[in-house]
Structure 1
Amino acid sequence: MKEKILWAPWRIGYIAGKKEKGCLFCRVKREKKKDKEDYLLFRGKYCLVILNTFPYNNGHLMIAPYRHIKEPSQLKEEEAIEFWRLLNLSIKILKKVLKPEAFNIGINLGRTAGAGFPGHLHLHLVPRWNGDTNFMPVIAKQKVISQSLDKL
């Protein structure tokens, strides 16, 4: 069987691109002038909401506290309240805007668990639609995203 080629130019930025030195979330916290470029959606008092620039699916976002901490148990009470409120608010907004059928919510604690930024706690919220997963993520470890971040 002849192999088909799938054009997904956005992936090369992640695969071959220059890796960010330091912590993405700490940099975004500091550099407010780059909010649009960073796809920052919301700045709270204790936490931020940002689109994942290498998403698993359309609307994949991350929620992180401003403080550089590793685990949920290290959140102060006021941070924890805002963290979980932002999750609920994000779900509500994504349901209205993108109309997903379901969500995956996940926190990877440590590099071995898959954390790209293992020193800074962050939560992934991934909208899901029936039939959105095919062989690509399983076999080729690649995902086809049908919508630009700029269009979201």
Structure 2
Amino acid sequence: MSSFSHVNQSGEANMVDVSDKQQSKRVASAESFIEMSAETLALIVSGGHHKGDVFATARIAGIQAAKQTSMLIPLCHPLMLSKVQVDFEVDADNQRIRIISTCKLTGQTGVEMEALTAASVAALTLFDMCKAVDPAMVITGTRVLTKEGGKTGHWQANS
């Protein structure tokens, strides 16, 4: 395993210098899950929530969060994202919603943190909008699914 790139030789936090890296197409996807009661899930899916379209609000929140990642996570580079997508899959059998985010750009550093931030904030937004109905919801399984580009090329999580 290589050493941590965000720590300099003196052990201090350090923003990685990417100025000498080649630009390449970078893509990353991430997921997160939010588990809830069957009643809450049905309320969201039916569109009957009194706060309106829960999925639309969570999607916008996820996209906005990806764009703000460098403001939220120390040492992340501000990036010119060319695409952010946030999708939802309803898993009624397991009483949960899967959030999948994808971020893209052409640049000198990866977009894994932006994809993770998008999925996380979308899940948090779902929680926020439904907490009065179901305060026992649980957010789980946040992880990177795939990454493409850069010197390490393609990587995919195990199923």
TM, length-normalised to structure 1: 0.34
Rg (Cα) greater in structure? 2
TM, length-normalised to structure 2: 0.33
